[in-house]
Amino acid sequence: MDNSAVPEACPGVESANAGKGSACAGCPNQQLCASGEAAKPDPAIQQIRQRLEGVKHKFLVLSGKGGVGKSTFSAQLAFALAGLDHQVGLLDIDICGPSQPKMMGVEGEQVTQSSLGWQPVYPLDNLGVISIGFLLSNTAEAVIWRGPKKNGMIKQFLKDVYWGDGLDYLVVDCPPGTSDEHLSVTSYLSASKVDGAVIVTTPQEMSLLDVRKEINFCRKVGVPVLGVVENMSGFVCAKCGTETLIFHPSSGGAEKMCQEMDVPFLGRIPLDKELMECCEKGTPYLAGIHSHEDEGELAEQIQNEGVCRKAMRSVVQGMVDGLGAA
């Protein structure tokens, strides 16, 4: 099915008039529609359902605007879930700007093929990552692809990656916006049970403006909104302790917007230089990743965490609790 040149007055593939209306003349799908083939769902949707049958929880990480920390949050959430001894998969479907190879500290690694499917790259034993970044010959290479090629890649990732015997969590890191990648991933996953979407934002109205669009997108395509995370929620000067709301919540911030839009608010994560450094280095931000370290020592580390790490931990815990047993 080729949706790029569908006429404005398309009668719809399920209409009795499909392929036969006057608007259908010249449409590339005319024959397909007239034959009734177009009304049949893409067989990949069932193949994807089978492929992901062993995955207990699947959710999307979305944002309206770019650069609000969506990939940072996805990466650290994946590390944190793995630190809680879960089996975790992280799928990066940002085709033109893949961040996860670097954020997970596995830049330069390669995806391999086996008889079971494509093998993710494993930064930890219980954490696999897939990204188009692993398929490029060099990191500066631009992926200059229009929508349909991006959609094909996403379909292949969902259909052909072998995530092991089963996963507790599959985290799908999406690009910003409400376009090809988002329509494709939600349509391809329509037969696989998706828990929902987490939306990341900054406190600015400029970002919340796009979050409202994203929430309306989720409602239109039938993906539940698990909640909204407010990132870059203020900056505390390490020298004098003064907090500055650099990204100013001029309209009351994410919590107020969540009330207005009737979606859960998952919490606030302040701007933290150390979090940025972890992303640049591809290392976990929260302690507890090496699950075999001394338990007393780990408890002490967690006890002594600063306000930003505590905030991140609370958001992760809230999500895990919200999703139910893994």
What are the binding residues? Answer: 10, 24, 27, 33, 64-71, 237, 240
Instruction: Check binding of 224 to a second copy (CB under 8 A).
Output: no
**How many Å apart are CA 135 and CA 137, to the nearest integer?**
7
Residue 218 or 320: which CB sits closer to a second copy? 218
Instruction: Check binding of 298 to a second copy (CB under 8 A).
Output: no
Instruction: Check binding of 292 to a second copy (CB under 8 A).
Output: no
Instruction: Check binding of 205 to a second copy (CB under 8 A).
Output: yes
Instruction: Check binding of 248 to a second copy (CB under 8 A).
Output: yes
Residue 112 or 139: which CB sits closer to a second copy? 139
Instruction: Check binding of 137 to a second copy (CB under 8 A).
Output: no
Q: Which stretch binds a second copy (CB under 8 A): 47-55, 117-125, 236-244, 310-318?
A: 236-244
Contacts (Cβ under 8 Å, ≥6 apart) of 41: none
Which amino acid is residue 164, in one-letter code? G
Instruction: Check binding of 97 to a second copy (CB under 8 A).
Output: yes
Long-range CB pairs of 32-36, under 8 A, 24+ apart, other chains included: 32/1
Residue 55 or 208: which CB sits closer to a second copy? 208
Instruction: Please identify which residue in 9, 144, 303, 325 interacts with a second copy, judged by CB under 8 A.
Output: 144
Which amino acid is residue 113, in one-letter code? Q
Instruction: Please identify which residue in 51, 57, 86, 150 interacts with a second copy, judged by CB under 8 A.
Output: 150
Place of tokens 């994410």: 254
Binding mask 253-272 for a second copy (x = CB under 8 A): ------------------x-
Q: Within a 10 A sphere around the Cβ of 170, how many other Cβ atoms?
A: 26
Instruction: Check binding of 134 to a second copy (CB under 8 A).
Output: no
Instruction: Check binding of 140 to a second copy (CB under 8 A).
Output: yes
Q: Which residues bind a second copy (CB under 8 A)?
A: 2-5, 28, 64-68, 95-97, 99, 102-103, 139-148, 150, 175-180, 182-183, 202, 204-206, 209-210, 212-217, 220-221, 235, 237-240, 242, 244-248, 250, 271, 273, 276-277, 279-281
